[in-house]
A = this chain, B = another copy of it.
Amino acid sequence: MSTYTRRKFLRDAAVAGAAVSAISTPLKVLAAEKRSTVRIGMIGVGLRGQSHLDEFLKRADVEIVAMADPDKNMMAMAQKIVAQYKKKSPVEYTNGNYDYKNLVMRNDIDAVLIASPWEWHIEQALAAVNAGKKAGVEVCGAIKLQDCWDIVQAVEKTKAPVMMMENVCYRRDVMAVMNMVQQGLFGDLLHLQGGYEHDLREVLFNNGTDGGPGVGFGDHGFSEAKWRTNHYVNRNGELYPTHGLGPVACMIDVNRGNRLTALSSISTKPKGLHRFVVNNPLGGPNHPNAKVMFKEGDIVTTQIQTANGETIVLTHDTSSPRPYNLGFRVQGTNGLWIDNHAGGFDEGMIYFEDKSPKKHTWENTKAYMEQYDHPLWKKFSKDAEGAGHGGMDFFVDNAFIECLKRDADFPLDVYDLATWYAITPLSEKSISEGGTLQQIPDFTAGKWQNRKAVFGRSDEY
9-residue interface stretch from A59-67, A211-219, A264-272, A417-425: A264-272
Which B residues touch A362, using CB under 8 A? 323, 340-341
Q: How far is the CA of A232 from the CA of B14 in the complex (A)?
A: 51
B266 touches A305 (CB 8 A): yes
Decide if B360 touches A334 in the complex (CB within 8 Å): no
A49 at the interface (CB under 8 A from B): no
A264 to B362, CA, bound (A): 30
Partner of A264, one of B303, B335, B341, B353: B303
A230 to chain B, nearest CB (A): 22
Which residues of chain B have C-beta atoms less than 8 A from A187's C-beta?
271, 275
> What 1/0 flags go to A387-426 for Cβ under 8 Å of B?
0000000000000000000000000000000000000000
Given contacts A267-B311, A268-B310, A340-B349, 7 further A-B contacts (CB under 8 A): A187-B271, A188-B269, A264-B303, A305-B434, A322-B331, A341-B362, A436-B436
When C-beta atoms are compared, the residue in chain B nearest to A353 turns out to be B321
What 1/0 mask marks residues of chain A from 321 to 349 whose CB sits below 8 Å from any chain B CB? 11110000001111110101100000001
Question: A199 at interface (Cβ–Cβ under 8 A)?
Answer: yes
- Taking CB atoms and an 8 Å cut-off, the chain A residues in 184-198 that contact chain B are 187-188, 190-191
Q: Say whether A321 contacts B335, CB under 8 Å.
A: yes
10 shortest A-B CB distances, which residue pairs?
A269-B309, A321-B353, A191-B299, A190-B268, A264-B264, A271-B333, A435-B437, A323-B360, A323-B362, A268-B311
A-B contact pairs, 21 of them (CB 8 A): A188-B269, A188-B271, A191-B301, A262-B435, A264-B435, A264-B437, A266-B305, A268-B311, A269-B308, A269-B310, A303-B435, A305-B435, A321-B334, A323-B360, A323-B362, A324-B360, A340-B349, A341-B362, A435-B437, A436-B436, A436-B437
**Distance of A260 Cα from B82 Cα, bound (Å):** 56
The answer to whether B271 and A311 touch across the interface, beta carbons within 8 angstroms, is: no
CB <8 Å contact, B190 and A311:
no
Cβ contacts under 8 Å, A308 to chain B: 269
Number of copies: 2
Which chain B residue lies CB-closest to A341?
B362
Is A351 interfacial (CB-CB < 8 Å)?
Answer: yes
Residues B333 and A272 in contact, CB atoms below 8 Å apart: yes
Within the complex, the shortest CB–CB distance from A275 to chain B, in Å, comes to 6
The CA of A124 and the CA of B361, in the complex, are separated in Å by 38
> Contact flags (1/0) for A225-248 with B, using CB distance below 8 Å?
000000000000000000000000
Residues A320 and B301 in contact in the complex (CB < 8 Å), given A268-B309, A269-B309, A436-B437: no
Chain B: minimal CB distance from A306 (Å): 9
Residue A373 lies at the interface, judged by CB distance under 8 Å to chain B:
no
Asked whether A298 is an interface residue with its Cβ less than 8 Å from the other chain, the reply is yes
Cβ of A111 to closest chain B Cβ, rounded Å: 36
The one of B317, B333, B349 in contact with A298, judged by C-beta atoms closer than 8 angstroms, is B333
Question: In the complex, A333 Cα to B298 Cα: how many Å?
Answer: 9
A313 at the interface (CB under 8 A from B): yes
Most buried by B among A275, A331, A434: A331
CB neighbours of A313 from chain B (8 A): 301, 313
Instruction: Count chain B CB atoms within 10 A of each CB in A301, A334, A352, A436 and give the residue with the most.
Output: A301
| Bound CA span A186–B297, Å | 17
**CA of A434 to CA of B305 in the docked complex: distance in angstroms?**
9
Tell me the nearest residue of chain B to A300, going by C-beta. Answer: B311
| Complex interface: chain B residues within 8 A of A188 (CB) | 269, 271
Minimum CB–CB distance from A376 to chain B (whole Å) comes to: 29
Chain B residue with the shortest CB-CB distance to A338: B340
